[in-house]
Amino acid sequence: MQEATTPRLETSADGGAHARVLGQWTAAQFARRGRLDELRKALSGFDAAAAWDLRGAEQLDHVGAQLLWDHWGRRRPQRLALLPAQGAVLERVERFTTEPPLRRHRGWRGRYLALGESVLHKAHQLREFVRLVGQLALNVLRLARAPQEGPWRDFSGHLYHIGATALPITALVGFLIGVVLAYLTAKQLRQFGADAYIVNILGVALIRELGPMLAAILVAGRSGSSITAQIGVMRVTDELDAMSVMGISHSFRLVLPRAMALAIAMPLVSVWTTFSALAGGMLAADISLGITPTYFLGALPEAVQVGNLVLATAKSVVFGLLIALIGCHYGLQVEPNTQSLGQGTTASVVTSITVVILVDALFAIAFQEVGF
């Protein structure tokens, strides 16, 4: 049995108004589980153009009035009976309810203009990034002339947070990648009796390609997003404007220490990830093929030339600089609102990972004869 306060609709049987609104049409009543769905289902059975009588409603607040207003197609029915207090609530809902924007079908001209706008936006982003790279080069020269003025405390803090705190996750992921790669390789090599060549495959693949790229992707998702979020929050809280007022260079105090820290930490994290992956591959090779760790470690220097390690280290330095610059670029482009901060952080991570993969492909093509 329904309570008297329960919001409900009834059909008038006296030849008067078609729909009668009864009960309390308030937010407190709608908050009860399933109540709002029941009312919407009941409203669907009444024609919005019919006569409506709201005088029987015990209470009508803005939430209830908004529900009725939306059902009426955001215009009053021609036959509407209501009390003065209900009319005031309905007038406020009518005044402050905004119409949803109409979706217009864009023709070829609209698509062409949208494409041009997107190209101009990307060109602006590229120009700002190139400007940031040039400013970083000038800051490096300034630091070389006056090392005592450098942001060394910020540099050491970023070096710890970017490098040391990333070691556990990179080691775990690297180890598992090594195990998976070794098991997949062992299954194929066993068919041809070439078990010993697993050292060559794992050595070249992990040291030259997978180790540096895997470490860079993890650091891009972990530290690149952190860099963008830190600088973006400074934009939201007006700290960047305060630095400009005090004459402090954003690029010298924010970009330079992060770029230096990532350029130094990235090769170390890459080597650490590669060693962890080799440990996982060595363990899997021992279990699946019977290749002992002693044989694995003894054959590894002969299978992998020093040029592969040098190339991997050089790539890691470039990866670190690019991740830092991209993170700082998107952080400085953040608008002073939380939505822009989230979009900038997401764009920073996606762009960093994409650039890392593209640059790794360029290195693979340009130095395909190195280390073989």
C-alpha 365/C-alpha 363 separation (Å) is: 5
38: left (phi over 0), alpha (psi -120 to 50) or beta: alpha
Closest CA to 323 of 369, 357, 372: 357
Q: What is the pTM of this model?
A: 0.69
- Residue 195 neighbours by CB distance under 10 Å: 16
What is the reported pLDDT for 352? Answer: 94
What is the reported pLDDT for 100? Answer: 56
- Grouped pLDDT means (10 residues each) for the chain, 372 residues: 71 65 82 79 77 83 83 81 85 75 66 87 90 92 90 90 90 93 86 82 89 93 91 89 88 92 94 94 88 88 86 93 94 86 91 94 86 62
What is the reported pLDDT for 372? Answer: 61
What is the reported pLDDT for 1? Answer: 45
Backbone angles phi, psi at 20, to 5 degrees: -115, 130
Backbone angles phi, psi at 113, to 5 degrees: -65, -40
Domain ranges of the chain: 8-96, 122-366
What is the reported pLDDT for 179? Answer: 93
